[in-house]
Structure 1
Amino acid sequence: MAKDKTGAVMVVGAGIGGMQAALDLADSGYLVYLVEKKSAIGGTMAQLDKTFPTNDCSMCIMSPKLVECGKHLNIQILTLTEIKSVAGEEGNFHVSVIQHPRYIDIDKCIACGTCAEKCPRKVPDEYNAGLINRKAAFIRYPQAVPLKYLIDKEHCIYFEKGKCRACEKFCPADAIDFDQKEREINIDVGSIIIASGFRPYNPADNDTYQYARSPNVVTSLEFERLLSASGPYKGHLLRPSDQKEPIKIAWIQCVGSRNTHMGDKGYCSAVCCTYAIKQAMVAKEHSSEIDAAIFFIDIRTYGKDFEKFFNRAKDKMGVRFIKSRINTVSPGEEEGNLTIRYSDGVGRIIQEEFNMVVLSVGLDIPQESVELAQIMGVELNNYNFVNTKTLEPVRTTRNGIYVCGVFQGPKDIPETVMQASASAAASSELLAGQRHTLTKEKEYPAEIDVTGQEPRIGVFVCHCGTNIGGVVDVPGVTEYASRLPHVVVSDENMFTCSQDTQDKIKKRIDEYKLNRVVVASCSVRTHEPLFQDTIREAGLNPYLFTMANIRDQDSWVHQSDKEGATKKAKDLVRMSVANAAELSPLYRTKLPVIKRALVIGGGIAGMRAALSIAGQGFEVVLVELEKELGGFAKKIHKNIQGDNIQEYVTNLIEELNQNEKIQVLTETIVTDFSGTKGNFKTALTVGPSMYSREINHGALIVATGALEYRPKEFLYEKSELVKTQIELEDILSKDEQIINDWKNVVMIQCVGSRNKENPNCSRVCCQEAIKNAIAIKEINPDINIFILHRDIRTYGFLEDFYRKAREIGVHFLRYKEDEEPMVEQEQGKIWVTFKDITLQRDMKINPDQLILSTGVVSGDTKELSNILKIPQTSEHFFLEAHVKLRPVDTQSDGIFICGMAHSPRLIDETISQALAASSRACCLLSQDYIEVGGVVARVNPELCAACLICVRACPYEVPFINEDGVSEIDISKCHGCGVCAAECPAKAITLLHFEDIQILAQIDALLEAV
């Protein structure tokens, strides 16, 4: 008899990918062991200053995830821990781990920092990339989770010489324990997720850039630390050699990437172009006088809105982009400066001197990850990344072990987060029968009754690194807040969202008997739930809390006026304190979750999401507008890796039709939508008979796909010699012999992309062109193929195919953005004229076929967007809740997006995103109930005149006239937007938490300064 599977999962690596996978699994009903070899979770993202393309503070957006992991009852964090062995099989793995001693009792440590203060030994600080020193007793970074110190045995004087122990002598908590030993722990889990991340490429391995000789040549990660408020210079951009402000900075791209000669790094690291652009922009924000120059081979801003980000840097910020591969850096004439010699693109050799050089280093796999893979028994590819199949992107070669993040392949943060959720979905499918068998439910203390109490308000003002503290006088605002009515304590914090500050807030609530809390920091959109949960853990009602947004509404928009920003911050804090004094407790009601999902769209994304949700144990209704499933993938025969896409689509359709938990409705449109997460109702019109049907469901996934751009240019549909790449692929699959009659083929890239009408990159076109070019060459090696491009964007392992195409004789010719090729027809022939940038000469080719690499445009989803009340981008792709950390969630809880409905992407990325959406949906469906209410509208029936204004005004169609003839609002459907309260002429509707007395108190407080 087969043994029952274990309802626990081990996640190895606690960077952003590991944390996301752990949170998804824990929220879906599984016990998670989060294993991290370092002393704190957070990974590389914790070292970043800002994140592209929004330039959000990295720590600000990640801190809620850190705290959530640290507080989650069903996540056991094992730091300083490494995998020793893995035995067993999927569903029943037996893992032995080694936990190294911290030499500080984690239960006693109060993170006061005395041990570090008294420690006499200084060593390079790894967190700050060795730019400054730390002590042998240290904490990895200020917001670390767990926020516990440790002693570095390799550098501790006591372990070297048997004496010192200053930390032990002065520790007020008696937490130092030099007798701690290495522990071996045996853990049973049903599945394992590898999320061990990467290490930045070390340019000292092949030092042609003066990296080991000049302190002013830094890696991109070192530059992040130079920019950071918690870095060596506290957020002031200074060059390391003399702490002077740099005036000229150069970025050199592809250091440790796209190079088969130095270290066999033939792949593109996928992130370097965009992070270099981000760093150049942030540097210019520090000082507009900085001359920032980026030396590149191809600019690869292929992600959602990344091209807009690139254009902003180039056109508005004045960042210089110079196409030249730099192989060496020389010392400059002025002390500390560096000289770069390059070709300017028109044949001239330029020599330019810079104050600093930043090396945009690639993503490398460290030896310890290679050894981890050997222990796990999973195969690696030729670059030492985990070997996965293109159509199963998170599944390793060992059943039950999955992978996510950079160890699977180079990728950025949103792709890592998506893949983390995807690996969680795969694990959940495997262990669906063991959900909730090992988990615990969170219990809160009894709520403190504040009825009749005078307000006792605590104010917590955040520096947010330099986001706020670099503009606003935070100590001055904190002192000002302490003098406001009802304020009994006012504190300032570097990062109020960090774990230590959450603990501090709870202590202050107890110590000062606080009954209201005000946090002056960033946005309620991202951080309000975190702070509400914290004060609830201290016994306060979560609605006795408010925020003053002194970042988005103040420091970010008044960077050049520090005095004015400080004054405004005081105004905002004063208003929030006045508002807090009038707050009342609010309560929420539990409603059962409908354990069914609706998926809109029957392409690969929709089908894969539906199958995953069904595999996790829930019912699914899949609706498709067309007669047949398959979507755009029906036009694709093979991907660039050679997988048979038609066979894959056919197999997905068969799986759907055979799955008892999935109902498929084709020729179906969505006509109406209502409800809230866990309890949605969607009206459908189902063809071909066009009958009406309602679906009740708890979660919704939008996977409506996208369309191929239909060209209006380049004689398309005017000459039979002009085709799209998709049409060429169809020819290649049906009639290879026709290729033998061709002598010259021209392909034009970026047709319908990277222009005013569609400013973003369509992501798929370069690899589609290279795939077809290679296929043509394999049929007829004598054909001349010319690919006319602005940049070739074969990121990640796709670079191998770009290299192969060049090796077999495909010609890549670059044209300028403002000098597109011209196509003319003469006597049945077509002529393509363009200017080759490299040769600096006009070229004219008479091709047998002209192939257009057409872009991706959104489908006709505007009406659906209006029905679902979820926003879209200006290009009409659906908008995610947060570009980095909630890439498949929408702003409407319970609604998720995936595939090309989100943005253009490759098939393997679509599969990952579909699995991610299914994971996020199942986090909701696995709950037995959700809570509704709180900030909702309430009708006073005695004042209601049944005028119907609220009925007409509500964007969610919630109010209705009940049997008593007055307006009624269902709190389970109310979104708390307040439109009805604002429109009601009789003032019969009140929006709780935003009542007149609370708003008027804010206004009165504002007018105090007038």
Structure 2
Amino acid sequence: MQFERLLSAGGPTAGHLERPSDLAVSEEIAKAEKRLKKLGRELKQLEKKHSKSTDEVVEQFKAGAEGEDYERWASMAERLAASESKLADLKEKEAGARPPAKIAWLQCVGSRDLNKCDNAYCSGVCCMYAIKEAVIAKEHSKDPLDTAIFYMDMRTHGKEFDDYYNRAQQGGVRFVRCRVHTITPVPDSDNLHICYVTDDGKLEKEEFDMVVLSVGLEAPASAAELADKLGFDLNQYKFAQTGSFAPVSTSCAGIYACGALQGPKDIPFSVMEASAAAGAAASRLAGARHSLVKEKVFPEERDVSAEALRIGVFVCNCGVNIGAVVRVPEVAEYAKTLPNVVYVQENLFSCSQDAIEQLIQVIKEQNLNRVVVASCSPRTHEPLFQETLRNSGLNKYLFEQVNIRDQCSWVHSNNPDAATVKAKDLVRMAVARGSLIEPLPVPSAPVTPSALVLGGGVAGMVSALNLGQQGFKVHLVEEKERLGGQALKLNKTWRGENISDFVSKLIDDVNGNENIDVHLNAKVKEASGFVGNFKTSISSNGGGDVLEVEHGAAILATGAHSIKPDEYLYGKNERVFRWHEIDKALETDLVRNASSAVFIQCVGSRQPDRTYCSKICCTFSVQKAVELKELNPDMDVYILYRDMRTYGEREDLYREARARGVIFVRYDLENKPVVKETDGGSLEVTVMDHVLGRPLTLKPDFITLATAIYTRGIEELGRMFKVSISKDNFFLEAHMKLRPVDFATDGVFVCGMAHYPKPIEESIAQALAAAARAANILSQKTVEVEPIVSVVDQEMCIGCGLCEICCPFGAIRLVKIEGTGYRAENISALCKGCGSCAAACPQKAIDMNHFRDSQIFASIQAGGAAA
């Protein structure tokens, strides 16, 4: 967190990086300058009050003269001189500062550690934090920067995390696998020596300008106080105790836990878990829905069509985020000279509650009918300002936002002149476009209060059951002859909970819920419609029966599968199993009487053709290794791995396996294990031992392969529901952090392993989250439809169909018009306003609401510093 302060000094693209000591000096300078300004103001007030100069009063006071405020006046003058002297010293020190040339990150400080602390668990998020910081630090540094991450296991197990890890390596970030022994100060320097032992046993000492500690995350003391007050249990690490099958439920019925209260986790999972907790709570409160809801009522919208243009411009300092670079008063004065601008105001923070209330008042008092705000990013603040316009009686689309933070103060942080000129330029362009924007009515459509859930595995059943318990009709579609999915092949969770019993009860609960219709041996034939109003054809019995269902939302929980590898003798020797086959094999004499077993990790994962981590494999193999040791303590059990990714409390299982004698042998991609069958029919595994530095030959009785997880057949579903698929062939959510279970297509959600490989507790949490998000739509009588959509002039249209071909959302189609032929027609509820159709149209027959050609051209023509 402290390093994030260094990165953010001057903005995220400042082009420089400071040492901690240099940042401290910069902050001291800022404080000293603030003190000087305050003292200067107070002294000027005294001079004005008494009509005397400070120098005159100080001389008189030293000579023994007395007068009103003289003693305080002289004291303030003395403090002013001292502050000026200190500021001069600090600026001299700042002038001699130099940016760091080498930075080291030390992983697992305060976690995965029982010697220095009691945090045996893995904090889960630190590896990605360190990689991100190292990458950004290299981007910030003007000069070449050496970044090194010292780690034990690189746990980049999240969706697309390994891709980021690989790009960091390609970008020059060094990864040093070791446990750092000591850090010592370099004599006569602010630098530090790091001592560590390399893989080949050599003691190395390396000098760094800066060392960043990836400190583990602990439960706050307030968690224990909260648990004691509410009566729910904590685990041994003082985090909220939850189970795999009820991942957001505490030990106290009706109290739910999410986010880091359960243990360290990243933003995507925390956000998803928050929705899951809301969904779990909603299932208990279904009978009370809407009973306490107060609908927000906006003032009647003012008709501005006959009014002369009256534009108000509000320029924001954003504290020092903008004001420290852009000369905001100058921009505000310039805005007063622009056509149709009748009011200009400078704000310290335009998004503050006071500023928002003042904006409403100004719009009313000045009778403004267009508003331009020059501030930060519209991605985060446009909805706030649009709602403010609605509260003032204006249509929310009579608003234009200029991003003078990202596009001016951040990218030109070292050039205030350029930043200020560009800010003026952007404001001028916004005013030109704002003069032509029009109010847009927001249409609404009725909602069909039922849901379609595709996939009858654990995730699909949990989603369907939660929605059914909330009182919504659900169609649950499963392509197999029974419910259960991949969970039918598993026995226990890593915590030891019985999966078979859970799945059996879940199936009974689903079948027993009167709101859920289960369709087995069924597939989706076709889907159409939009949020709140979908129509889907379900075929069953080999396509012989077709049922059309209407639904307001859809959840895709189609699951994933384990690959069948063509290596390590799989399919050629009956003693080589895939990971999910070992549970059944544990009941056979082959396994029960074995004297030696080998697990091989990352089979088909984390390699060029499938770069992602399958996430569940490490924990599963360690769990089964422990079970084998429980079955036969004398059995030799080996796990051949690349990085042991037992994140969170799974680290306890890893430690238990080592204590029981499970032997872990690390290999790399260039030296993968070799499996062969000897002349006598036995198995032989050869792997390069990184500790011994030579090949190690093992003769196991059986081998278990941690094969990669992949999806199949989702491309067609993606086409039908107009949703995206990642490069790794998993469903792609709208935003990894902000909308982790939503698709870009409104009303369609994702959960389970179709999204990305994950353990059962995470699939259940994501299923609850998807149900909560779907219920948010189904509980409404109507949904608003975005009016920024394409508009077709059918008189200009020639029916060529290019727009229909290029639309990624199926929101435009050709229809036959009697006496005219085929013409394009927009389906506004499906349109996302991307503009692809307008760009493709050779006749210019398609325009975009709120982004019409005339509006865009006006902005372009107003652009340029000389305009």
Matches within 5 A, 1:401-416: 401-416=255-270
Tell me by how many angstroms 1:420 deviates. Answer: 0.9
Identify if the C-alpha distance between structure 1 residues 985 and 336 changes in structure 2 by more than 3 Å, giving closer, same or farther: closer
Query: Do the aligned residues in 1 keep the contact of 2:335 with 2:427 (CA within 8 Å)?
Result: yes
Matches within 5 A, 1:130-279: 220-221=1-2, 223-224=4-5, 227=8, 237-240=18-21, 243=24, 246-279=100-133
Name the SS of the counterpart of 2:21 in structure 1. Answer: coil
Query: Do the aligned residues in 1 keep the contact of 2:6 with 2:23 (CA within 8 Å)?
Result: no
- The aligned residue for residue 1002 of structure 1 is 859
Q: Structure 1 residues 517-526 or 907-916, which shifts more? A: 517-526
Alignment-mate amino acid for residue 297 of structure 1: M
Q: How far apart in 2 are the matches of 1:823 and 1:468?
A: 62
Query: Do the aligned residues in 1 keep the contact of 2:181 with 2:195 (CA within 8 Å)?
Result: no
Q: How far apart in 2 are the matches of 1:405 and 1:992?
A: 40
Identify if the C-alpha distance between structure 1 residues 378 and 474 changes in structure 2 by more than 3 Å, giving closer, same or farther: same
Match of 1:880 among 715, 733, 740: 733
Tell me by how many angstroms 1:395 deviates. Answer: 0.9
Alignment-mate amino acid for residue 370 of structure 2: R
Match of 2:645 among 793, 798, 803: 793
Name the SS of the counterpart of 2:542 in structure 1. Answer: coil
Q: How far apart in 2 are the matches of 1:773 and 1:463?
A: 60
Residues 1:823 and 2:697 are matched in the alignment: no
Match of 1:766 among 602, 614, 618: 618
Tell me by how many angstroms 1:807 deviates. Answer: 0.3
- The aligned residue for residue 165 of structure 2 is 310
- The aligned residue for residue 849 of structure 2 is 992
- The aligned residue for residue 86 of structure 1 is none
Structure 2: gaps spanning 5 or more residues:
27-99
Match of 1:295 among 140, 150, 154: 150
Tell me by how many angstroms 1:493 deviates. Answer: 6.8
Residues 1:894 and 2:747 are matched in the alignment: yes
Tell me by how many angstroms 1:469 deviates. Answer: 8.4
Match of 1:863 among 684, 706, 716: 716
Identify if the C-alpha distance between structure 1 residues 283 and 649 changes in structure 2 by more than 3 Å, giving closer, same or farther: same
Matches within 5 A, 1:301-380: 301-316=156-171, 318-326=172-180, 328-380=182-234
Q: How far apart in 2 are the matches of 1:491 and 1:690?
A: 68
Alignment-mate amino acid for residue 558 of structure 2: T
Q: Tell me the alpha carbon deviations over residues 258-299 of structure 1, each in whole angstroms, 9 at most, x when there is no partner.
A: 112333211111111111112222222221533222211111
Q: How far apart in 1 are the matches of 2:11 and 2:416?
A: 20
Q: How far apart in 1 are the matches of 2:169 and 2:278?
A: 39
Alignment-mate amino acid for residue 743 of structure 1: S
Identify if the C-alpha distance between structure 1 residues 839 and 320 changes in structure 2 by more than 3 Å, giving closer, same or farther: same
Q: How far apart in 2 are the matches of 1:870 and 1:551?
A: 33
Q: Tell me the alpha carbon deviations over residues 938-987 of structure 1, each in whole angstroms, 9 at most, x when there is no partner.
A: 44455556666656665335553467866554544444344444455555
Q: How many residues align?
A: 787
Q: How far apart in 2 are the matches of 1:646 and 1:796?
A: 24
Residues 1:650 and 2:504 are matched in the alignment: yes
Alignment-mate amino acid for residue 934 of structure 1: P
Tell me by how many angstroms 1:722 deviates. Answer: 2.2
- The aligned residue for residue 88 of structure 2 is none
- The aligned residue for residue 776 of structure 2 is 923
Matches within 5 A, 1:542-553: 542-548=396-402
- The aligned residue for residue 803 of structure 1 is 655
Matches within 5 A, 1:314-713: 314-316=169-171, 318-326=172-180, 328-459=182-313, 483-488=337-342, 502-503=356-357, 505-506=359-360, 508-510=362-364, 512-519=366-373, 527-548=381-402, 572-713=426-567
Q: How far apart in 2 are the matches of 1:957 and 1:242?
A: 55
- The aligned residue for residue 585 of structure 2 is 731
Q: How far apart in 2 are the matches of 1:964 and 1:923?
A: 44
Q: How far apart in 2 are the matches of 1:993 and 1:306?
A: 37
Q: Structure 1 residues 241-250 or 341-350, which shifts more? A: 241-250
Tell me by how many angstroms 1:243 deviates. Answer: 4.8
Identify if the C-alpha distance between structure 1 residues 314 and 234 changes in structure 2 by more than 3 Å, giving closer, same or farther: closer
Tell me by how many angstroms 1:598 deviates. Answer: 1.0
Alignment-mate amino acid for residue 1004 of structure 1: Q
Q: Tell me the alpha carbon deviations over residues 672-724 of structure 1, each in whole angstroms, 9 at most, x when there is no partner.
A: 32222112222332333533332211111111111112212222223333222
Q: Tell me the alpha carbon deviations over residues 907-952 of structure 1, each in whole angstroms, 9 at most, x when there is no partner.
A: 0000000000111111111111112252233444555566666566
Identify if the C-alpha distance between structure 1 residues 557 and 668 changes in structure 2 by more than 3 Å, giving closer, same or farther: farther
Alignment-mate amino acid for residue 612 of structure 1: N
Q: Tell me the alpha carbon deviations over residues 10-59 of structure 1, each in whole angstroms, 9 at most, x when there is no partner.
A: xxxxxxxxxxxxxxxxxxxxxxxxxxxxxxxxxxxxxxxxxxxxxxxxxx
Identify if the C-alpha distance between structure 1 residues 503 and 706 changes in structure 2 by more than 3 Å, giving closer, same or farther: farther
Asked which structure has the greater CA Rg, the reply is 2
Structure 1: gaps spanning 5 or more residues:
1-219
Name the SS of the counterpart of 1:688 in structure 2. Answer: helix
Alignment-mate amino acid for residue 728 of structure 2: E
Q: Tell me the alpha carbon deviations over residues 446-504 of structure 1, each in whole angstroms, 9 at most, x when there is no partner.
A: 22332233333344567889998899887776666554433445667787666566456
Identify if the C-alpha distance between structure 1 residues 310 and 978 changes in structure 2 by more than 3 Å, giving closer, same or farther: closer
Tell me by how many angstroms 1:548 deviates. Answer: 4.6
Tell me by how many angstroms 1:559 deviates. Answer: 9.4
Matches within 5 A, 1:4-15: none
Q: How far apart in 1 are the matches of 2:610 and 2:725?
A: 14
Residues 1:976 and 2:833 are matched in the alignment: yes
Q: How far apart in 2 are the matches of 1:985 and 1:290?
A: 50
Tell me by how many angstroms 1:1009 deviates. Answer: 5.5
Tell me by how many angstroms 1:237 deviates. Answer: 2.9
Alignment-mate amino acid for residue 305 of structure 1: E
Name the SS of the counterpart of 2:20 in structure 1. Answer: coil
Q: Structure 1 residues 790-799 or 511-520, which shifts more? A: 511-520
Alignment-mate amino acid for residue 135 of structure 2: M
Identify if the C-alpha distance between structure 1 residues 433 and 740 changes in structure 2 by more than 3 Å, giving closer, same or farther: closer
Q: Structure 1 residues 661-670 or 235-244, which shifts more? A: 235-244
Q: TM-score, normalised by structure 2?
A: 0.84
Query: Do the aligned residues in 2 keep the contact of 1:725 with 1:772 (CA within 8 Å)?
Result: no
Q: Tell me the alpha carbon deviations over residues 984-1008 of structure 1, each in whole angstroms, 9 at most, x when there is no partner.
A: 5555544322223223323333478
Sequence identity (%):
47
Q: Structure 1 residues 268-277 or 499-508, which shifts more? A: 499-508
Name the SS of the counterpart of 1:880 in structure 2. Answer: coil
Identify if the C-alpha distance between structure 1 residues 582 and 314 changes in structure 2 by more than 3 Å, giving closer, same or farther: same
- The aligned residue for residue 936 of structure 1 is 789
- The aligned residue for residue 838 of structure 1 is 691
Name the SS of the counterpart of 1:401 in structure 2. Answer: coil
Query: Do the aligned residues in 2 keep the contact of 1:739 with 1:779 (CA within 8 Å)?
Result: no
- The aligned residue for residue 169 of structure 1 is none
Q: Tell me the alpha carbon deviations over residues 316-346 of structure 1, each in whole angstroms, 9 at most, x when there is no partner.
A: 1x22211222354322223332222111221
Residues 1:755 and 2:610 are matched in the alignment: no
Query: Do the aligned residues in 2 keep the contact of 1:596 with 1:925 (CA within 8 Å)?
Result: yes
Q: How far apart in 2 are the matches of 1:350 and 1:489?
A: 66
- The aligned residue for residue 57 of structure 1 is none
Residues 1:851 and 2:704 are matched in the alignment: yes
Q: Structure 1 residues 356-365 or 897-906, which shifts more? A: 356-365
Q: Tell me the alpha carbon deviations over residues 811-847 of structure 1, each in whole angstroms, 9 at most, x when there is no partner.
A: 1111223322223333133332222223323222222
Alignment-mate amino acid for residue 238 of structure 1: R
Q: How far apart in 1 are the matches of 2:158 and 2:110?
A: 21
Alignment-mate amino acid for residue 290 of structure 1: L
Query: Do the aligned residues in 2 keep the contact of 1:674 with 1:973 (CA within 8 Å)?
Result: no
Name the SS of the counterpart of 1:310 in structure 2. Answer: helix
